Amino acid sequence: MESTKVLFSSEKLDYSCELMRALAHPLRLKILKQIDELGEVHVNNIYNVLNIEQSITSQHLKVLRLAGVVNQEKEGKFMNYSINYDILAKAELAVKRFLKK
């Protein structure tokens, strides 16, 4: 049987790892659920509703933002967050493809 050489793009692989890491944390999933329910959310709303510290919320939002999962928009002195559904759809498709094999 002939072996097949598989080439990986280290850049894509690094990004995929960051994306999966961002989506694998239970608190980040709760944050995403909160954003999804409201569409665009002010950071204060997130930490007040989930009853977590502002600094913890900001750390988790940073991970989500760097992975491209959430968008941020500054409104005055406040940051509003929304979900990047295109990235989530690509992640879902990739996981489904992986699980089929």
CATH of the domain at 47: 1.10.10.10
**In the block, which residue shows the tokens 């954003």?**
35
Domain presence at residue 1: no
pTM of the model as a whole: 0.83
Q: What confidence tens digit (pLDDT) does each residue in 8-37 have?
A: 778 877 888 888 899 999 999 999 999 999
d(CA 42, CA 82): 9
Domain of residue 60 covers 23-100
pLDDT at residue 4, as a whole number: 66
DSSP for residue 24: T
Please report which confidence band the pLDDT of residue 80 belongs to, taking 50, 70 and 90 as the band edges: very high
Give how many domains the chain has, as a whole number. Answer: 1
pLDDT beyond 90 at 85: yes
38-52 average pLDDT score? 92
- The residues near 27 (Cβ < 8 Å, ≥ 6 apart) are 50, 52, 56, 60
